[in-house]
Amino acid sequence: MDEDRKAIDKTGEELAAELIRGDRRALARALTRVEHGGRESAALLAHCRAHVESQRQNEGKRALRLGLTGSPGAGKSTLLEALTRQLRAQNKTVAVLAIDPSSPLSGGAVLGDRIRMREMAADAGVFIRSMATRGHLGGLAAAAEDALMVMEAAGWDLLLIETTGVGQGEVEIARCADVVAVVLAPGMGDGVQAMKAGVLEIADVLVLNKADLVGIEDLEQDITSMEMLNEAVSGRPPRLVHRTVAARGEGVEALLSTLLETAQSGNNSGRRNPEARSAPVLDHLGIAVRSIEQAEGFYQLLGMTNLGRETVVGERVRVAMFAAGESRMELLEATDDEATIARFIARRGEGLHHVALRVPELDKVVDRLRSRGIRMVRDEIQIGAGGHRYVFIHPASAHGVLLELVEKA
């Protein structure tokens, strides 16, 4: 606590100057401060950022960020250690940021069981820091980004980010990395299928660790099939696959070369520029109701905010939007008995009418779907009240769901 108190007493400028000079204790204190966030960390971050920007621009020096994620049991920590050893053998200094959103602990405590990591931390060329939650996952991603900025200001050559591969927060954090490796291993339940949705998507490189185990051929076969299917559906070229036995250091040097090359090339699926990502996100759920006035009371009871109402003349529908986190709920009421929504309610009653996904380039997606024989409700892309563009995919082509695709504004 005394340490923290002193850290807070120091100005951001003082603390930044100390960590830039290479003071490890100052770095540790600075990381505690940015993890807490808020006003206390703003000045510190501003000084670190200014230093990092000037290094990048004037000296072309930039700390590459390698992200490592995967389910527990894949040997991710062992691989992280092996990569760190390899980097040390190449005389590079390494700072590790281990993220554990599920743990209430922070500041190194979650590393307690990692004996080898602690041994490595005795090396002056290695710095290890674990980070738990700043309250919520969105906050954690922001805290991780800040922590990496501080570590780069402190002059470390390579930044390794380890996440546990458990969900959406991981995906956000991975966006901080220049390259992301997802670690898999044979014999992990349903293997590829068991990975949380979205986690495999963020990989630039797929690592098949524990490659000396029975089942490695099946795992690689699963991965290859998945990559071929992805290429057919989304046009994304297959990703690089590496086999490793991290515990014996096998395949680690080759993997490291690939990671460094990919990180340097900036050819990393566009994760650093979220607008360029092609994966759809849930935009809203459309719900057919008899009366918006009557239905909206229910959503207000749930504490949801009404984002406004409009009438879409072309669709003969009145719409009320409610905020639901990053997505929305759309209540739809027919303006007359011949409207699509009126006929839907006459046939099936009130209920879920459609699911809407938001995509970056609607024309491209629609062309791709058409070329695969996917049916649209109408041939042309429609233009909605706010000027946004959308299409509906016929339920016959979308496995029973009326699927709306809307274009990112």
Nearest to 203 by CA among 241, 232, 229: 241
Per-residue binding string, Zn ion, 295-334, x by CB under 5 A, is -----------------------------------x----
Measured from the CB of residue 284, what is the shortest distance to Zn ion in angstroms? 6
Of the pair 146, 330, the CB lying nearest Zn ion is at 330
Of the pair 81, 283, the CB lying nearest Zn ion is at 283
Size of the site for Zn ion (CB under 5 A): 4
**Per rule CB under 5 A, is residue 286 in the interface with Zn ion?**
yes
Measured from the CB of residue 286, what is the shortest distance to Zn ion in angstroms? 4
**Per rule CB under 5 A, is residue 356 in the interface with Zn ion?**
yes
Of the pair 271, 354, the CB lying nearest Zn ion is at 354
Of the pair 334, 356, the CB lying nearest Zn ion is at 356
Q: How far is CA 222 from CA 39, 200, 201, in A?
A: 48, 13, 15
Of the pair 12, 286, the CB lying nearest Zn ion is at 286
Q: Which stretch binds Zn ion (CB under 5 A): 56-64, 136-144, 259-267, 282-290?
A: 282-290
Of the pair 252, 356, the CB lying nearest Zn ion is at 356
Q: Contact 407/366 with Cβ under 8 angstroms?
A: no
Measured from the CB of residue 152, what is the shortest distance to Zn ion in angstroms? 43
Measured from the CB of residue 376, what is the shortest distance to Zn ion in angstroms? 15
Of the pair 162, 404, the CB lying nearest Zn ion is at 404
Residues between 34 and 73 with contacts to Zn ion, criterion CB under 5 A: none
**Per rule CB under 5 A, is residue 7 in the interface with Zn ion?**
no
Locate 220 and state its tokens.
């690689």
Q: Which stretch binds Zn ion (CB under 5 A): 85-93, 158-166, 172-180, 401-409?
A: 401-409
Edge to edge, what strands does the sheet with 126-131 contain? 126-131, 94-99, 158-162, 64-69, 179-184, 205-208, 240-243
Measured from the CB of residue 249, what is the shortest distance to Zn ion in angstroms? 53
**Per rule CB under 5 A, is residue 147 in the interface with Zn ion?**
no
**Per rule CB under 5 A, is residue 216 in the interface with Zn ion?**
no
Of the pair 220, 315, the CB lying nearest Zn ion is at 315
Of the pair 18, 330, the CB lying nearest Zn ion is at 330
Measured from the CB of residue 316, what is the shortest distance to Zn ion in angstroms? 14
- List residues binding Zn ion (CB under 5 A): 286, 330, 356, 404
